[in-house]
Amino acid sequence: MSETKELNKLPIILTFFATVFATVMILYAYGYLNFTREEQGLLVAEFSLVTVGSAEAGQMRSRAANQVAECVDGILVLHDNRHNGLSGLLVDNRERVVRCNAQSVPVAE
């Protein structure tokens, strides 16, 4: 008569869930997880760079865009005129923040 000792599975299951929960909380605390609502991450507009003296510079429209840029702490912040209170950071295609200098634009002589 051999009796097999049953293993209690409850502590293993609780340890698994506690480990997953702790991992998610640590990742969130260090900024690797970011939970945003859908309206916080909307693409408002796309921008492209037109270099000075290029052929594209002569084909621009005279009407201004609906966004206004402002340099805040060295980061370019855009404010949308159509949606009151909507503002965001200007980022490139790799989601890197576009930096700016809070200096005036030099006047061409």
Contact (CB, 8 A) for 86 and 80: yes
Question: Above 90 in pLDDT, residue 95?
Answer: no
Strand, helix or coil at 71? strand
| Domain parsing of the chain, residue ranges | 8-41, 64-102
Per-residue confidence band for 35, with pLDDT thresholds at 50, 70 and 90: confident
Q: Is 87 helix (H, G, I), strand (E, B) or coil?
A: strand
- Which is higher by pLDDT, 48 or 34? 34
The pair of structure tokens assigned to 13 is 């299951």
42-93, pLDDT tens digit by residue?
A: 666 666 666 666 665 566 677 777 788 888 888 888 888 777 766 788 787 7
